[in-house]
Chains A and B, each alone.
Chain A
Amino acid sequence: MKVTVKSWTAVATWRWVANDDNCGICRMAFDGCCPDCKIPGDDCPLVWGQCSHCFHIHCIMKWLNSQQVHQQCPMCRQEWKFKE
């Protein structure tokens, strides 16, 4: 007997490769989206800081805009710099 697979339709869930499950700012799952968004993934991406913490891009932008003087990571209080 010879079995040939003509096609294999498989099911997967996607997830962000991050060291945490939830965004430290909005407490929502990374695999979901920030409170301002409706659609996860491309429309509400994550960004990483050089400190290696990551957040929903919308969440960190809001956070940084609210900080008058120092632009710090809300988790480790290091200066926030986007990871290249």
Chain B
Amino acid sequence: MAASSEEFGAAWKIIETSFSSSKKLDPAPPVISPLGLQSAVELLINHGIGHIIEEWFLEVMNADLQQRIAPNFLAYFSSSVPEDEIGNFMSKVIAELYDNLSAYIPKLGQLDEISMCISLPTPSSMDGLNTVLYNEKKSRQPAMERAQSIFKAMLLPQYQIPESLYANVQKFYSLTMRVHHTTDEADIKANNEDRDDECIRCTGCCCDTDNCQCQTLLHIFHQVNQQLYELGLLERFAGEAVTSVIHEKIQDYVQHTCKGNFESSYLSCLETWLETKVVGWLSEVYRGSEGCERYNDPNTATSVEAYKSRLYYLLYETYTVVRIDQLFNIIIEYPESEPAIVDLRCCLEKTNLRSQLVTSLKTALETRLLHPGVNTADILTAYISGIRALRVLDPTGVILELVCEPVRKYLRTRDDTVRCIVSSLTDDSSSDLADELVRGEPLLLDDSCQGEEDMANWETWYPDPVDADPTKTSKSRRSSDIISMLVNIYGSKELFVNEYRTLLADRILSQFNYDTEKEIRYLELLKLRFGEAQLHYCEVMLKDVADSKRINSLIHNGELQGHQSMDIPVNAMILSAQFWPTFREDKLELPAGIKSSLDAYTKNFETLKGNRTLCWKPHLGLVSLEIELKDRKVHISCSPVHATIIMHFQEKSKWTVDELSVIMHVPVSVLRHKMAFWQSQGLLKEESADTFILIEEGKGGRHDIHMIDIEEETESAMASSHDQREEELQVFWSYIVGMLTNLETLPLEKIHTMLKVFAMQGPSTGECSIQELKHFLDRKVKEQHLIYAGGVYRLPKPGS
């Protein structure tokens, strides 16, 4: 039953009129009876061309979008809209778009109904062509979806959204988010908050409070979102802007909230904030407020959930980055900063920023700590804080190991590291290390725990993280205490013990305090750490002090047989030379009166301890003087050299440095330096170069008694470590001479290797770097003990 072309023409006319949506073109469309439309559609369907209705309709819609709707829509966004107009602007633009497009929407449902009526060929009677059609129809998209794809493509083509449109959209969401937050907090803020200033502005909309636009803006916000949602454009239109607004907000909020404060934990309050403020707002964008139709759409709910988990990740990441940036300061402030460390530990588990943390902290340590401007004690303090803080941050100890290796390496290059560690170990005021010492754990050195994983604890064992150094056992990483870690910077107990010995010697010989109770306590604690044997020398030193005290009182009570009286009250510190570090051997000729008193003391000592005698170290000691001048009396404690100088000024009031040098047996250069002390006390004046005179009368003519302590830089009584090093190198020299006698010529590297094998075994001689060796050998060449030619060293021919 074929239809005539007239019949088709009439039917199409009906369909065209009925589906035409453009009010503008056809202001008063003729009324089509539903029955008429139905038969028209049936005619087309029966002739197998039913599908062209939908194609035609979408084509018409497409053309309308392309020619009219899209250009108008995009034209609105050609320029930047000011913030105070963005709400109304957006409301108007989206409402217009909505009006335009919603004219098409009711028809789309009808199209779906029509396509339902297009009967499918029965599967049994299918030939090849029909199968294709069948599959096409079966997988048919609803017309609404097809229309929405067209909307998107025409209005907001992916990757081609103009920058100005995006900027305006972002402005809109940024403003509405702020309004949302403000209205949320309005009831809280209304009461307190010092905002009764002259210019009162709403923190949300930035308008005067009596002209607050917040409610209007919120209304617009919901309306715009709803309309975009219905058109299927919400995600494309708002998604990127919303994301960027949220990211910015999170950055801002995290930065502001926890800026510079490490003493409280922020993680849970940040989470609460994210959940209530950010996720709440996000949910209002995508789901609307509770009660509206799309709120219950499971698809929207799911996508908000997925979005939410990304936001949490972002929050943790942002917070972690902030804390990583501050980590150096956080470490310095440990343990007060422990909450920040604990937060960071949680965040590291949720993010992937471990290696960034390691890199960043390494750099921070290098730029802020490991340079010549920072003194060793401060580096050590930071290192100790670092050990403690990073242990909390990462109980496996791996981060600590990675980050602190450069610090250890650097500390090894500083001369005074050991001295700093030892002195703070036994210093009352710096509690950190002293506390550690009091805990009294035995020293755990790196080599002592290799391969000794404790099988008893296998149940609590956990694997090392992937960035761990496989050559270290996890036990050594986890359990070594801070003192052990410090000692391990050098890897040698001897070095520490020797340094302690020098320090103790200096302390005894600068303070001359015979009360050794405190030192004995430290020594006992150190013995727990370093072992009895290592500290035996120090024990003898302290015993010397106690013995000296007893001998002094025995000699002074005068009950000794044949007691020799002394003109000057001499106390002695009598040392067992073999057990003390090497002394500086400075010469000093003491005044006759002092010498005779010392001799008398020696006689008394010899009486007391048969077969033993004393060798005085004249330059060491502490002298207490009372100096009576014409107009004043001064009490001064000073060194024997200083005392000797001023005593010579009793004989005559004018001395040249040369004269003093001759009678005191002290080099001129040293004397000049010592004179400065008396100049600073106002007793001597340099009349002309190297000639000093006594100042009998002070200018002020004061008669009060001065108590003055020596404030000179305290000079060590011990031979400097440089001198000791020199001695060690002399030991190497005998080996080198031996090698060259046997092998005649050797290059530098070979000498170094051989020394390593034969001479560098002892703990005290220790290492000698190849640079140091070269330096030493060069000096020997200069001194003509060695010849260097053709890249090898050899000994000069005897007799040449």
A residues whose Cβ falls under 8 Å from a Cβ of B: 1-18, 29, 31-32, 38-42, 45-46, 48
| CB-defined contacts of B640 to chain A, threshold 8 Å | 8, 10
A48 to B611, CA, bound (A): 10
Give the A-B pair count, Cβ closer than 8 A: 144
State whether B650 touches A13 (Cβ < 8 A). Answer: no
State whether A8 touches B569 (Cβ < 8 A). Answer: yes
- In whole Å, how far is B792's beta carbon from the nearest beta carbon of chain A? 39
State whether B613 touches A17 (Cβ < 8 A). Answer: yes
State whether B576 touches A3 (Cβ < 8 A). Answer: no
B residues 610-639 with Cβ under 8 Å of A?
A: 611-618, 620-630, 635
| CB-defined contacts of A9 to chain B, threshold 8 Å | 512, 570-573, 621-623
A9 to B617, CA, bound (A): 11
State whether A12 touches B579 (Cβ < 8 A). Answer: no
A46 to B609, CA, bound (A): 12
State the majority secondary structure of interface residues on A.
Answer: strand
| CB-defined contacts of B696 to chain A, threshold 8 Å | 1
A–B complex contacts, Cβ < 8 Å, 18 sampled? A1-B629, A4-B627, A4-B628, A5-B593, A7-B571, A9-B623, A10-B598, A10-B640, A11-B620, A11-B717, A12-B575, A12-B616, A13-B617, A14-B577, A16-B611, A29-B578, A31-B578, A40-B579
Identify B615's interface contact among A6, A15, A39, CB under 8 A: A15
State the majority secondary structure of interface residues on B.
Answer: mixed
B residues whose Cβ falls under 8 Å from a Cβ of A: 509, 512, 536, 539-540, 543, 547, 568-580, 593-594, 597-598, 601-602, 605, 609, 611-618, 620-630, 635, 640, 643, 646-647, 649-650, 653, 694, 696, 717
Q: Return the chain A residue nearest B593 by Cβ.
A: A5
- In whole Å, how far is A26's beta carbon from the nearest beta carbon of chain B? 13
State whether A14 touches B613 (Cβ < 8 A). Answer: yes
State whether B612 touches A11 (Cβ < 8 A). Answer: no
A84 to B630, CA, bound (A): 59
| CB-defined contacts of A10 to chain B, threshold 8 Å | 570-573, 598, 601, 616-618, 620-621, 640
| CB-defined contacts of A11 to chain B, threshold 8 Å | 509, 572-573, 575, 616-617, 620-621, 717
State whether A8 touches B694 (Cβ < 8 A). Answer: no
State whether A5 touches B571 (Cβ < 8 A). Answer: no
State whether A8 touches B629 (Cβ < 8 A). Answer: no
| CB-defined contacts of B543 to chain A, threshold 8 Å | 39
A45 to B573, CA, bound (A): 20
Identify B623's interface contact among A2, A7, A15, A17, CB under 8 A: A7
A15 to B614, CA, bound (A): 6
| CB-defined contacts of A15 to chain B, threshold 8 Å | 577, 612-615
Identify A1's interface contact among B598, B609, B611, B627, CB under 8 A: B627
- In whole Å, how far is B32's beta carbon from the nearest beta carbon of chain A? 121
- In whole Å, how far is A78's beta carbon from the nearest beta carbon of chain B? 21
State whether B540 touches A39 (Cβ < 8 A). Answer: yes
- In whole Å, how far is A30's beta carbon from the nearest beta carbon of chain B? 9
Identify A4's interface contact among B540, B615, B625, B717, CB under 8 A: B625
| CB-defined contacts of B616 to chain A, threshold 8 Å | 10-12
Q: Return the chain B residue nearest A13 by Cβ.
A: B577
- In whole Å, how far is A32's beta carbon from the nearest beta carbon of chain B? 4
| CB-defined contacts of B650 to chain A, threshold 8 Å | 1-3
Q: Return the chain A residue nearest B597 by Cβ.
A: A8
